[in-house]
């Protein structure tokens, strides 16, 4: 019962990042992309999202989580990465508006120390441990 009462709080806590994801998703929709709702999370794919991801500096992401939204290059990428990305959704529910700054800070520190800013990031380590 308590879980159902706290669920709306998790959406509110992560909402600043979700709003960024929704705005990006709408850009995707306006440029030919699509959307779907899976496991309580809005997923957007294609259009601007695909275009931006293939031009991303460094790694070429298949998908990316922003709060309760997941952006993917295409449907196949979303299907392939969904479980991994849902680990990030739970991280957003814990960290709320602090997730993005914490993630980026970890990546910067790792890069400055000679580590891999993506694979060595503790948020990614947790997601890869659960869903490689």
Query: Tens digit of pLDDT for each residue in 68-119?
Result: 999 999 999 999 999 999 999 999 999 999 999 999 999 999 999 999 999 9
Query: Which distant-in-sequence residues (6+ apart) come within 8 Å of 62 by Cβ?
Result: 53, 72, 73, 77, 80, 81
Q: What is the pTM of this model?
A: 0.93
Do 25 and 106 meet the contact criterion of CB atoms below 8 Å apart? no
- What size, in residues, is the chain? 132
pLDDT at 125 over 90: yes
Boundaries of every domain in the chain: 12-97
Q: Flag whether pLDDT at 32 surpasses 90.
A: yes
Query: pLDDT over 90 for what percent of the chain?
Result: 88
């Amino acid at each position: 019962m308590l879980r159902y009462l706290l669920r709306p709080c998790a959406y509110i806590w992560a909402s600043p990042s979700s709003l960024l994801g929704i705005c990006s998703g709408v850009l995707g929709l306006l440029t030919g992309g699509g959307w779907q709702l899976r496991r309580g999370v809005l997923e957007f794919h294609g259009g601007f999202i695909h275009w931006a991801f293939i031009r991303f500096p460094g790694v070429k992401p298949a998908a990316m989580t922003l709060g309760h939204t997941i952006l993917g290059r295409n449907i196949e990428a979303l299907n392939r990465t969904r479980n991994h990305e849902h680990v990030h959704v739970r991280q957003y529910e814990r960290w709320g508006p602090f997730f993005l700054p914490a993630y980026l800070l970890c990546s910067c520190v790792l890069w400055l120390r000679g580590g891999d800013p993506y694979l060595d990031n503790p948020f990614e380590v947790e997601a890869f441990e659960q869903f490689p």
